[in-house]
Amino acid sequence: MSEAGRLTGIFWEPKPVFESLVARPRFWVPLILTSVLAVFYIAAFSRVVGWESMLRRQFDSTPRIEQLNPQQKELLLQRSLQFAAPMAYSGAVIGSAVMYLLIAAVMLGCFNFFGGGALKYLQAFSIILNPAV
């Protein structure tokens, strides 16, 4: 089954897709797609909400930061703004991949222990990642 067939088939006919994933686990296309979607989400958040607005709200709800004088708050805000966007974009790419790797590890244990299966890690990773797109 092709990657396009897997990505569309997961919604309309999931059984053949999962059988295909067990037979030939492939995960690169769904991993790249989920990373791209996460980056688009961060870009939309950055454009609509903005990092300064988000950080100001966060600072206003933190009692420790409320104790700082206005100049210290502004300095902290400027320093935080330098790291907010790069950390968010890198977290979108790396964080989503790590999250799916951990979920696959947990689900591998569940599939094999509770379900009595004999799946390998790449099979579990593909089974988790394809529907996530």
**Residue whose structure tokens are 């420790």:** 64
Per-residue pLDDT, 90:
93
Whole-prediction pTM: 0.77
Q: What does the angle CA 97 – CA 2 – CA 118 come to, to the nearest 5 degrees?
A: 60
Mean pLDDT (the chain, rounded): 88
Q: How many CB atoms lie within 10 A of CB 123?
A: 21
Q: Write b or e for each residue in 39-59: b if 16 or more Cβ atoms lie within 10 A of its Cβ, otherwise e.
A: beebeeeeeeeebeeebeeeb
Per-residue pLDDT, 43:
95
pLDDT at 94 over 90: yes
Q: Compute the distance between CA of residue 98 and CA of residue 2 in angstroms, rounded to an integer.
A: 25
Q: Compute the distance between CA of residue 101 and CA of residue 18 in angstroms, rounded to an integer.
A: 18
Contact 34, 129 (CB under 8 A): yes
Q: Compute the distance between CA of residue 83 and CA of residue 91 in angstroms, rounded to an integer.
A: 12
- Quote the percentage of the chain above a pLDDT of 90: 39
Q: How far apart are the first and last CA of the chain?
A: 17
Q: What is the DSSP letter of 69?
A: -
Q: Compute the distance between CA of residue 85 and CA of residue 10 in angstroms, rounded to an integer.
A: 33
